[in-house]
Amino acid sequence: MSAADLSIGGARAALDAGDLSAVELADAVLDRASATEAQLHAYLLIDHEGARAAAVAADEAIAAGTAGPLTGIPIALKDNMVTEGVETTCASQILAGWEPPYDGTAVAKLKQSGAVIVGKTNLDEFAMGSSTENSAFGTSRNPWDTDRVPGGSSGGSAVSVAVGSALGAFGSDTGGSIRQPAALTGTVGFKPTYGLVSRYGLIAFASSLDQIGPFARDVDDALTLFEAVAGHDPMDSTSWDGAVPDARPTLDAGPEGLRVGVVEEMNGEGADPQVLARYREVLSALESAGATLVDVSMPSIAHPVSTYYLIAPAEASANLARFDGIRYGHRADGETVEELMARTRGEGFGPEVIRRILLGTYALSAGYYDAFYGQAQKVRTLAIQDFERAYEQVDVIAAPTSPTTAFKIGERSENPLAMYLSDVFTIPSNLSGHPAISVPAGTDDAGLPIGFQLLAPALGEPVLFRAAKAVESLMGVSARPRLEEVAG
């Protein structure tokens, strides 16, 4: 087995025992990237020089006895996470060539931990999409079937972990952009409680919804990655100014005694029959292992997509106004400032970004604000209240992660609504700000991964990780994509 196939926990043990050096591990991961990138396009940029330098420093730290959990571990970053001196584009032509002068807080924490940053991964432009097809620099492909999407918007990060061109990765989740690609690629994807991971240095899509979180091969690794970046940051006004919940003590407590909510409005209606069957199989396994299934109703989340697609585009229309051709990024010619801005945005933004800016601007415009954006915020408040009532009865809530397995590239490109419905089960926890995780639950008849999702109340990471570890142990999913089919 190549070192690139190790879990973070396995690599940590090998590094600490001296059976593997950080340089050897970095080389194995970089070699895996070289072998798979032509087919998969997980990365927009691979920092060979920077990764090897970080690996040398990690070996020195290990030798000195100062290594931490991520020292020497190769990590990939979604290319909307600001990284000092490394091109950061959001997969958009409008930021092509931009090299930030600073690190975002999560990136800085990873560097301080001794992690080896492999590179920047592909995404839907400005994180707007569910397939990674909206990238201005080409589509990422699913390693389980390269004719299919890896999900989005953090598709590149998911692919890097699935094939071993990183041992862990980070993405951002605005409406499911970590959990949905995790489900479609057979990886673990975790969205923390809003505010537990600083958004400083995350290029904003929808500020009240965005949250940085990890991809990993197993639940233990996902927790290790989360622990490295969580914590209060005075640079982020929405950062949680309190203790980060410690999920370690109860991680292996098992499912016995857990109250698992089965929400009538999130019970898989509209999902592919095989996805729904696997969802019910996991619920049955949890019940057999000592968990209690509790039926709950949350009427306000029956139509999450319509709520989300008023709030998120409205916030995007404000956030993306900064890309004007004046301060940074792409700049077009124009005889007036207005003409310069119009040409810059027309040339720099792709069609999906333009679509969402227009939707958001319309929803915020005079005469429509109360009818659209204002109403959506009221529904969001009702959803939060429904969640609060549900969590009086249950510890966690279960749902499918994605209504389908990975779909064909191009299959939904001309049908935005069909694409938006990919996130129907993940959006509710973004509206509430609560944590959620997707865990591999097996494959369908075509051999494509299926994800099982768990949700918990705000700051409920301990019970969420406990439940996720229980599902992982019960289902015993260990299948990986066949590398011979994606290696050059």
The answer to whether 190 and 222 have CB atoms below 8 angstroms apart is yes
Question: What is the structure's pLDDT at 267?
Answer: 81
The answer to whether 436 and 226 have CB atoms below 8 angstroms apart is no
Per residue in 274-294, pLDDT (tens digit) is: 999 999 999 999 999 999 999
Residue 388 pLDDT greater than 70, yes or no: yes
Is residue 430 in a domain? yes
What is the CATH number for 250?
Answer: 3.90.1300.10
Catalytic residue among 153, 198, 300, 402: 153
Q: pLDDT band for position 169 (50/70/90)?
A: very high
Is residue 289 in a domain? no
> Which residue, among 168, 165, 218, 159, has the nearest Cα to 26 in the 3D structure?
165
Is residue 349 in a domain? no
The answer to whether 6 and 167 have CB atoms below 8 angstroms apart is yes
Q: How much is the pTM?
A: 0.97
Q: Which domain holds residue 481?
A: 3-258+393-485
Is residue 432 in a domain? yes
Cα(318)–Cα(361) distance, integer angstroms: 8
The answer to whether 117 and 84 have CB atoms below 8 angstroms apart is no
Catalytic residue among 130, 177, 317, 432: 177
Residue 261 pLDDT greater than 90, yes or no: yes
What burial letters (b/e) apply to 361-383, b meaning 16+ CB within 10 Å? bebbeeeeeeebbeebbebbebb
Residue 477 pLDDT greater than 90, yes or no: no
The answer to whether 409 and 139 have CB atoms below 8 angstroms apart is yes
Question: What is the structure's pLDDT at 270?
Answer: 83
177 given a catalytic annotation: yes
The answer to whether 150 and 409 have CB atoms below 8 angstroms apart is no
Instruction: Count how many residues are written for the chain.
Output: 488
Q: State how many domains the chain has.
A: 1
Residues with Cβ within 8 Å of residue 329, at least 6 apart in sequence:
94, 95, 96, 98, 323, 348
- Min mean pLDDT across 173-187, 211-225, 327-341, 434-448 is at 327-341
78 given a catalytic annotation: yes
Is residue 342 in a domain? no
DSSP 142: B
Which H or E run contains 471? helix 461-475
Per residue in 58-102, pLDDT (tens digit) is: 999 999 999 999 999 999 999 999 999 999 999 999 999 999 999
The answer to whether 343 and 387 have CB atoms below 8 angstroms apart is no
Q: Is 228 exposed, middle or buried (0-12, 13-18, 19+ CB in 10 A)?
A: buried
Question: What is the structure's pLDDT at 488?
Answer: 66
Per residue in 218-241, pLDDT (tens digit) is: 999 999 999 999 999 999 999 999
Per residue in 149-163, pLDDT (tens digit) is: 999 999 999 999 999
317 given a catalytic annotation: no
Per residue in 332-386, pLDDT (tens digit) is: 999 999 999 999 999 999 999 999 999 999 999 988 999 999 999 999 999 999 9
The answer to whether 138 and 89 have CB atoms below 8 angstroms apart is no
The answer to whether 77 and 87 have CB atoms below 8 angstroms apart is no
SS3 label, residue 55 = helix
Cα(117)–Cα(139) distance, integer angstroms: 22
Is residue 358 in a domain? no
> Which residue, among 398, 393, 486, 405, has the nearest Cα to 442 in the 3D structure?
405
